Structure 1
Amino acid sequence: MPSVREQIALELITPSPRTYEQLKPFQFGENTFNDRVMREKLPKDVYKKLIKTIKAGEKLDLSIANSVAHAMKEWAISKGVTHFTHWFQPQTGLTAEKHDSFYEVESDGQIIERFKGDQLVQGEPDASSFPSGGMRATFEARGYTMWDPSSPAFIVEGPNGGGILCIPSVFISYNGEALDKKTPLLRSMDAINRSGLALLKLFGNKTATRVVPTVGTEQEYFLIDKRFFNLRPDLRVAGRTLLGAEPPKGQQLEDHYFGSIKERVLAFMQDAENELYRLGVPAKTRHNEVAPHQFEIAPIFAEMNIGADRNQLIMEVLKRVAARHGLALLLHEKPFKGVNGSGKHNNWSLSDSQGNNLLDPGKTPEENLQFLVFLVSVLKAVNDYGDLLRASIASAGNDHRLGANEAPPAIMSVFLGERLTEILDDIKAGKEIKRTEEFIIDLGISQLPSILRDNTDRNRTSPFAFTGNKFEFRAVGSSASISMPNIFLSAAVADSIDIIIKDIQKELEKGTEFKAAVLSVLRKFIIETERIRFEGNNYSKEWEEEAEKRGLPNIKRTGYALAALIDPKNVAMLERQKVFSREELEARYHIKLEQYVKTLDIEADTICDMIQTKILPAAVEYQTRLAVAIKETHAVASVTNGLGLEILIDSLNKINATISELHQECQKLKALLKEGLTIEDIEKQARFFADRIVDQIEATRRPADQLEAIIPDELWPLPKYSEMLFML
């Protein structure tokens, strides 16, 4: 009788013919309350006022709320919607929603469908069970959601018909503290808008009315068969394999990257993209990633708050659609040991209201002083607040990935490329910057044209690389919300712009000519930020040593990295930019520490449970078989001359020693966990877990993985890497 694992493998190897539902005709954004729908459904004056709020960032005119709510309800009902929800992003890292129906009962008992302006603008979910970091007592349940009109409402279709109208919202406490990730994100956009416009005005631009950060996020993920997932308690509970021996073949041949996409995976991708397109999320790119069964999806750039909402939607839709295809989608940063983990490359740029990319150097960036000021402002932000950027991407999952020869290290540095580095070095030295010709690559093949070469190559080892007209923050974890990294980056850049503007104005007050004043200030900050510029291999040991000499921190574990959230200089900057209050930052510090400890606690409990209930029983069964075989072989030794007896005894000794080691390491882990959970100070507790629990989980895993390589396949109770990563 084949095992469950073997049955799954047989089905995957010899699949029965499958038919996938054909993609239905759809219209981009048909399930979003977008500009086309608003123009059609709203009175002209209401539409104009709402567009001013969305496009120009003006405060919402509450007098139009009833008209917007009525139009939104009529549009939603026409598409089969029965409920609405304020869709928000609490500090759990996920999204949250409470559904209310449109139905109301009149005094005469008649049921009508109603949705009023006050219901659109404000909701009141119970806030007591969301993490608040001590900003409120447990018994203080009241919290408010408030409509964010800058992000379009959308419809999520229910599995049995009757969709839900989702209204993107912020989430605040009764006293007005931000309990979510959207509120500070919008505040950071206001900060960079103020600073960016001031800089444009300094350069004589009086027509731009808005500066907005934009993001494009490349989302990596793994897919495995759902039945394998269901047989792995660690994947179900912790999101990653806490046990598992590396297979003979992993990613050594690099044959998966950009390879042909398997039919089953392609069907899933098409289905997911169909849903995303209907939700107004323009999925631009899809491809195989480096590790087996690892993939990537990337949307087109959007304004930062919309980009953050879209990334949350992408993760939700991918999970939902994967389940329909009998697949499990894994977003953990390191679900499998020995192969690359997953991140999301956060591409960040700045645009003005006229559609100009303010980080686009054009053909002659050396003549574009405005571009150079924006560029150096970003350098200064990373130099001054690199610890804050490190904290923004800190998690127990991402700690496994950062610096593991597959992802940028925990050292925050910037890659600019050869040409821009040369330009900054010339400014530093006071040299005259010469105009350069466009870089041309002649392929020397008559049938193929010459091509333009970018002003910078890409450095995939850099955590923060300039890639032509944007910065790519490569260290963000795959399961994380992109809000926090973008909040801190935008706020820090805004602060740097403010400082540079003041210094330029001081030079101008001395009577210095404008260009000379700008170059003088740039020279100062180019020198100041030189330590964080690095063009080489960030994965190398040599860079770690060099970074230490430069005074750059290399904080490898979250238990220590999060301290940057309450560092006085960081708190002062974020308060200065009106993005966070001190209380809001302290709350997030405690929330993140608690999440870190709880994650490791769950992992430790899970691995011990798996060892006790799955691994040790399998090991003892094999141990018993060996003992019986030795006894039987010994009984006939006179006939066989002891042939095989020595091998059996050696195997038994090996498994006895490994079982003993596994038991000892598991007991150590339990003792350390018990000790750690008695520590009351959350900061000390998090650092204890970082120093002791992380390494002990790995030490406990080691003998279990050795047993997997010893115990016969039919006795091993868990799906193996060779099955999960090579069978779809």
Structure 2
Amino acid sequence: MATLRQQALSMVQARQRVAVKAPSTKISNYFGENVFGTAQMKESLAPSVYKKVMEAIDKGSKIDVSTAEEIASAVKTWALSKGVTHYTHWFQPLTGSTAEKHDSFFDALGGLEKFKGSALVQQEPDASSFPNGGIRSTFEARGYTAWDPSSPIFIFENTLCIPTIFVSYTGEALDYKTPLLKSMEAINEAAINICQLFDRNVKKVFPSLGVEQEYFVIDKALFAARPDLVMAGRTVFGHSPARGQQLDDHYFGSIPTRVKDFMVDFEIEAHKLGIPVMTRHNEVAPGQFEVAPLFEEINKATDHNQLLMDVMEKVAERHDLKVLLHEKPFAGVNGSGKHNNWSLITDTGVNLFQPSNSARENLQFLTFLVATIKAVYDHSDLLRASIASAGNDHRLGANEAPPAIISVFLGATLTEVLDELEKNGNIKIEKGDNMYMKLGISKIPEIILDNTDRNRTSPFAFTGNKFEFRAVGSQANVAGPMTALNVIVADVLKTMAKDIEKEMAAGKEKKIAIVNVLRKYIKDSKKVRFEGDGYSEAWAKEAEKRGLSNLKSTPQALDVYNTKATKELFERHNVMNHIEVHARHEIMLENFIKKVQIEGRVMGDLALNHIIPTAILYQNKMIQNANGLKGLGLDHTAAVETIKEVSKHIEALKSNITAMIEARKKLNKEEDIVKMAKGYQTDVKEAYFDKIRYAVDKLELLVDDESWPLVKYREMLFLR
């Protein structure tokens, strides 16, 4: 291993820049060139066929067989003109990554290229081989992928990719996309009812999303020389270097040359795929970066984020780099998340979270703002569960990321607005720093946009015209938490509509009825609002007093999926039935268990087969040195103390690894998956991981540098 480390470091020193040339100096000349979007459809399809496709996209109407045949013919012609030979149904199973099975256009029996409408619309992958939470038995293999017309077909790596949903033979969702699409319909229906209190012209409301993606980049050779990164996605060992992020010099700093070349390259590929990448910059930790796109309709944004991660990983190979998407690949520096910027947009072009100079629109803005806060308060445990994973547990609650306590940040101005509205039904804030608003029953003048600060310690913050759900993990499929968010807000909006109707039925004028309901909701949900430092111990104590949950581990957080209330919530909005909710609970628990198992095995393998042998060799060398000094009558105290220190850590490693293995054996006999997951959290991860790591990291400081088998943090994090 020590030799492998030195070889890897030598390879890094010899690296050369990879030249990157854009197809054009103007991105607009090649943006979306590998997408069969609306422009390509309009150009290649008959007007009647194009109209049916647009109805399927906008209204969810079904595409008939003859229409599917015409679309398939046009898609095939377009794909073949670009040199494409294969097609695939591109879907998002509950593995967290995407899946694809490539089929050739070429029909060997017919001697020509074929692509039928039936192949476009539906295929049949093996449902039992993907995570299904008990929905399918091994011998019940049949499942279906079905085309999702609302997300554009694209070409990636010379393959035509058709975005699809993935369901079992009996109709249950086996993917992330199906519940997301259903949640979009749920919030559309609920939001329209509220919108039409203000504007009868609103016929559709869709959630929009912008996903800020954080990630680390290291050299490919260094990655290959770290078995823990290869197997577990994170370094289970590694002492913090003398210099980490304490100087704050990496954030927004000059982008390292090799990384800049990589960024330019993957942005070109992303733009060809119609992914509206806009922003790139260094993040807080050394070796950490961020990419952010423009906002899109949530289904397309979700697909684009999954595709972008794939693009980044593949393009990195061209630059002899490796993208690390794990939430916490390195201890002692910031981990990575996905900041999900979520909003609601009407078909009339109004952002429902956008303050305005219109009295009507500002009351509408406050209505949706308060409904969202109430939803987060009512269902904070479900939001927490939606972001739960073994990787994110390393990040949430650390002094770098939103805590496991779900709270809402609004900023001073909106906090004052809601407080006054709750107390008096109106507010007047004197002019100053561009802020002035008077809220009354008959008139609501302007609320200025962006008159509040940002709070990076808040997991759910209002940031001007959107909510930023910051607690989502960097390798997560955002469809999971976004489905939960859509559903809980839809649920509150439906209840709100009924409450407003009751007020109006009692004789209240519409605006008065709305304000009365808002005042009640503000009062009911104010405990979830927090403006301070979410990292502080004081907030944890305060949150406990408020009755807010602090679910620090995945097995603990996932309990909410087992509740009757959660199952009824998803069923009430036709997003998931109780079987699908139960299946997801099991799949998430299984994933957690397997991740902890893998990490434990990696720890044991590295410690027993690499670290301890290296430490023993060093110890023997020190014993020889001590004996030599003693024979010469020289002071050998320091050598003896080092020998004792090395011995202590070796013994600690042996005993803790043996105990951890026994704990795993015992837990593997547990038949209750909830008990098994919680046992892996407490009896394996909490009981032994830190102890084992502590001993190894101390040995890293003691053993001479040339002998140490693992690539060190200082060698991985400061890529230039």
Q: Place the TM-score, normalised by the shorter chain, in its bin.
A: over 0.9
**3-state DSSP of counterpart to 1:719:** coil
- Which of residues 236, 239, 262 in structure 2 aligns to 1:242? 236
- Cα distance per residue 1:485-539 (max 9 Å; x no partner): 0001001101100000000001111111111111111111110001100111111
Residue aligning to 1:149? 149
- 3-state secondary structure, aligned to 2:379: helix
Question: Offset at 1:694?
Answer: 1.3
Is residue 2:203 matched to residue 1:209? yes
The equivalent position to 2:542 in structure 1, one of 523, 542, 546, is 546
Deviation at 1:654, TM superposition (A): 1.3
Correspondence for 1:475: 471
Cα deviation, 1:51-95, whole Å, max 9, x if unaligned, reads 122134334344411110100010001001111111000011110
Of 52, 55, 61, the match for 2:55: 52
Which secondary structure state, in structure 2, belongs to the residue aligned with residue 465 of structure 1? strand
1:173 is the counterpart of 2:168? yes
Q: Aligned partners of 2:418 and 2:224: how far apart in 1?
A: 54
Cα pair 1:364 1:435 within 8 Å, conserved: no
Q: How does 1:254-265 map to 2 (within 5 A)?
A: 254-265=248-259
1:665 and 1:55 map into 2 onto residues whose CA distance is: 58
Task: Note if 1:91 corresponds to 2:106.
Answer: no
| AA in 1 matched with 2:60 | G
What is the TM-score with the length of structure 1 in the denominator?
0.94
Per the alignment, residue 288 of structure 2 pairs with 294
| Superposed CA offset, 1:30-56 (max 9, x none) | 000011111111111111111122134
Distance 1:111 1:384, change over 3 A: same
**Aligned partners of 2:58 and 2:9: how far apart in 1?**
53
Q: Is the 8 A contact 2:182 2:574 kept in 1?
A: yes
Q: Which amino acid in the other structure matches residue 474 of structure 1? A: R
Secondary structure, in 3 states, of the residue corresponding to 2:35?
A: coil
Q: Of 613, 625, 628, which aligns to 2:624?
A: 628
Q: Does 1:571 align with 2:567?
A: yes
* Paired position in structure 2 for 1:125: 125
1:612-657 alpha-carbon deviations (Å, 9 max, x no partner): 11101110110110111122222222xxxx23x1111111111111
In the alignment, the residues of structure 2 paired with residue 242 and residue 7 of structure 1 have an alpha-carbon distance, to the nearest angstrom, of 22
CA deviation profile, 1:419-455 (whole Å, cap 9, x unmatched): 11111111111242237658349xxxxxxxxxx8722
5 Å-filtered alignment, 1:414-425, equals 414-425=408-419
1:698 equivalent to 2:693? Answer: no
Aligned AA for 1:665?
Answer: N
Of 617, 633, 647, 1:656 maps to 647
Deviation at 1:221, TM superposition (A): 0.3
The one-letter code of the counterpart of 1:22 is K
CA distance in 2 between partners of 1:282 and 1:80 (Å):
24
In structure 1, what is the equivalent of residue 330 of structure 2? 336
Taking a change above 3 Å as real, the CA distance of residues 582 and 721 of structure 1, as seen in their structure-2 partners, is same
Does the residue aligned with 1:475 lie in a helix, a strand or coil?
Answer: strand
How far apart are the structure 1 equivalents of 2:362 and 2:20? 53
Moved over 6 A (4+): 364-367
In 2, the alpha carbon distance for the partners of 1:551 and 1:336 equals 33
Unaligned runs of 5+ in 1: 158-162, 442-451
* CA shift for structure 1 position 8: 4.1
**Within the alignment, does 1:712 sit opposite 2:707 as a pair?**
no
Alignment-mate amino acid for residue 90 of structure 1: P
Q: Do residues 31 (structure 1) and 22 (structure 2) align? A: no
Whether contact under 8 Å (1:342, 1:478) holds in the other structure is: yes
Structure 2 Cα separation of the partners of residues 568 and 3 of structure 1: 57
In 2 relative to 1, CA 62–517 (structure 1 residues): closer, same or farther, beyond 3 Å? farther
Question: By how many angstroms is 1:136 displaced?
Answer: 1.6
Report the counterpart of residue 113 of structure 2 in structure 1: 113
Q: Retained in 2: the 8 A contact 1:9–1:727?
A: no
The match for 2:587 is 591
Aligned equivalent of 1:446: none
User: 3-state SS of the aligned residue for 1:603?
Assistant: helix
Letter in 1 for 2:144: Y
Quote the offset at 1:12 in angstroms.
Answer: 4.1
Q: Match of 1:198, SS?
A: helix
Give the equivalent residue in structure 2 for 1:670: 661
1:269 aligns with 2:263: yes
| Alignment RMSD | 1.7
- Tell me whether 88-97 or 668-677 shows the greater mean CA deviation: 668-677
Matched, 1:229 2:220: no
Give the AA of the match of 1:190.
E
2:409 counterpart SS class? coil
Secondary structure (helix, strand or coil) at the match of 2:404 reads: coil
Relative to 1, partners in 2 of residues 1:17 and 1:141: Cα closer, same or farther, differing over 3 Å?
Answer: closer
- Residue 12 of structure 1 contacts residue 727 of structure 1 at CA under 8 Å; is this kept in 2? no
**Equivalent residue runs for 1:284-683 within 5 Å:** 284-363=278-357, 368-434=362-428, 437=431, 439-440=433-434, 454-637=450-633, 642-643=634-635, 645-683=636-674
CA contact 1:364–1:436 (8 Å) conserved in 2: no
CA–CA distance in structure 1, aligned partners of residues 567 and 524 of structure 2: 22
Aligned AA (1:339): V
Deviation at 1:668, TM superposition (A): 1.6
Write the letter of the residue equivalent to 1:652. Answer: I
Taking the TM superposition and a 5 Å limit, the aligned residue runs for 1:12-31 are: 12=12, 15=14, 18-25=17-24, 27-31=30-34
Deviation at 1:100, TM superposition (A): 0.7
Q: Which amino acid aligns with 1:79?
A: K
How far off is 1:4 after superposition?
A: 4.2
Q: Secondary structure at the match of 2:196?
A: helix
Q: Is 1:182–2:177 an aligned residue pair?
A: yes
Deviation at 1:605, TM superposition (A): 0.6
Q: 2:677: which partner in 1?
A: 686
- In structure 1, C-alpha distance between the alignment counterparts of 2:429 and 2:345, rounded to whole Å: 25
Deviations 1:548-599 (A, max 9, x none): 0111010000011111112111111111111110000000101111111011
Is contact 1:532–1:552 with CA below 8 Å preserved after alignment?
A: yes
1:727 positional shift = 3.2
Structure 2 CA distance for aligned equivalents of residues 101 and 227 of structure 1: 35
Deviations, residues 324-369 of structure 1 (Å, cap 9, x unaligned): 1101110000000000000000010000112210111124779721
Aligned pairs, number? 703
In structure 1, what is the Cα distance between the partners aligned to 2:207 and 2:282?
29
- In 2, Cα distance between the equivalents of 1:567 and 1:261? 47
Q: CA 1:16–1:375 in structure 2 vs 1: closer, same or farther (change >3 Å)?
A: closer
- Partner of 1:213, secondary structure, is strand
| Cα deviation, residue 21, structure 1 | 3.7
Which one is further off, 223-232 or 662-671?
662-671
Is this contact kept in 2: 1:193–1:210, CA < 8 A? yes
Deviation at 1:123, TM superposition (A): 0.6
Contact 2:194 2:493 in 1 (8 A): yes
1:41 aligns with 2:44: yes
CA distance in 2, matches of 1:324, 1:12: 14
Q: Distance in 1 between matches of 2:469 and 2:716?
A: 30
Q: Taking structure 1 as reference, are residues 364 and 356 closer, same or farther at Cα in structure 2, changes over 3 Å only?
A: closer
CA distance in 2, matches of 1:623, 1:143: 58
Structure 2 CA distance for partners of 1:700 and 1:19, relative to 1, 3 Å: closer
Specify the code of the residue in structure 2 equivalent to 1:676: L
Whether the 8 Å CA contact 1:366–1:423 is kept in 2: the answer is no
Identity of aligned residues (%): 51
State how far apart, in whole Å, the 2-side matches of 1:91 and 1:12 are.
36
Q: Which residue of 1 aligns with 2:438?
A: none
What is the Cα deviation at residue 206 of structure 1?
2.2
Question: Is the contact between residue 12 and residue 219 of structure 2 (CA under 8 Å) also seen in structure 1?
Answer: no
